Structure 1
C-alpha cells in the first residue's frame, strides 16, 4: 500500500489522533484527504476536504460514501470513552460505546468496502486499544466495545481479502489526546503513534503494535489468566 497519491478518509479528524492522521497523510503525499467529524466546523486543517459525519448515523455514513467515492484508504479513528463498569455502570453509556466502536465501525466498513473494491482494494485501518485484549477495573464498557471492534477487524479482514483490501488493526495504549486528558498516566506522543501506524500500512501489516504497552499486552495473552490479572490473586 502506497500512501503517496492515495485518497484517504479519516473519521474524527477534528482533534486528537484523527487530526494527526489527516496532517500526516498530506505530508506523505496523499492526493486528497477527507477530514470528517460530527461537528465539521471544528476541522481547521488546511488542504483537507471536510465532510460532516456521525458514524452512528446510517444516513450520514451513506452520504459520506456517496460523497467520497474515490477513497482507497479508510482510517476508522472516531471513538468515545465513558468509563463504565459492567456491573454497576450506566447501560445507556455502555450501549453508546458499542454503538460507536462496534456498530459505527461496521457501518463504515460496509459502506466503504464497495468503494475500496472498485478503486483497486486499498486499505482499512481500525484504531483499537490494548483494552481490546486486557480490561481494567472501571473500564468494562469501553473494553467490551474495543474487544468487539477487534473481532470485527478480524472478520472484515477475512471477508474483504478476496477484493484485495488490507484490513489493519492498530493496538495502542494511553496516548496524549483530549480523550485521555483526565488520566494521570504515561502517554504516547500522538504524532509518533501515527507515524508508526502509517509505516505499518505501507508495509502491509495486518496488526500494528503502536507502542510498548501493545507489545507487552500481546506477550501476556498466552499466559495464565491470573498472571495477566494480578487483581484476581
Structure 2
C-alpha cells in the first residue's frame, strides 16, 4: 500500500506540473497534426499503391499516434534533467518514498499525457478528414501507445539522470529517434519501399507497432500484424522498463 500511495503522490505531483504549464503537451501534439494536414493529402494521392479501397487516413493517423508515443516518451528525460538541476531529485532522494514509485509515478503521468494527445489527434482527423476508426481498434491502439510509452519513458528518465545535461541527452536521443521513425513506416508503409529497406525495417520493433496500429484502426483484429506487433511492443517495452528501472535506481542510490 505504501508503494501505491507513493506512486500516486508522484503521479499527481507530476500531472499538476503539466496542468500548470500545458505548453509542452500542446507542442507534443502539434507536430503530428502538421503531418496530418500537410502530409495527409500526399498519402491520399498515392493511396492507390497501398491496395484497393485503402483509406489514407487509416494509414497515416494510427502511425502518427505511434509517433506521439515515440517522441513524446523518448524525450521526457529532459524534464528530469531540469528537476535534477533544480534540486527536486535530491529532495526526493532523502524521503522514505520507494525508488520504484519515483519512476512509476512519472511513467504513469507520461502514459496519461500520451493517451490524451493521441485522442486529440484522432479527433482532429475525424473532424477535418472524416476518419472513422474501429471503436475497439482505437481503444486497443491507445493501450498499445501507453505500453510503448511506458518502456521509452522509463529508459529516457534513466538516461537523463545518467547524462545530466540537455546537450548530451539531445545528441543521444536524436541519433536514435530519427532512424527509428524513418524505419518504422510512420510516414508511408514500408511495403511501398524496396525489399532491402523492408528487411532493415523489420529489425525495428516499432515498425511492427505501426503495422499493428493500422490493422487495429481498420478493425482487423485477428491478423498477423496485430499479433506480432502487440507481442513485440510488449516484450520490448518490458525490456526497456527493466533497463530503465535498474538505471534509475542506480542513479538514485
Q: Same fold (TM over 0.5)?
A: no
TM-score by length of 2: 0.32
TM-score by length of 1: 0.34
Larger of the two Rg values belongs to structure: 2
Q: Which has the higher contact order (CA 8 A, sep 6+)?
A: 2
Report which of the two has the higher share of helix: 2
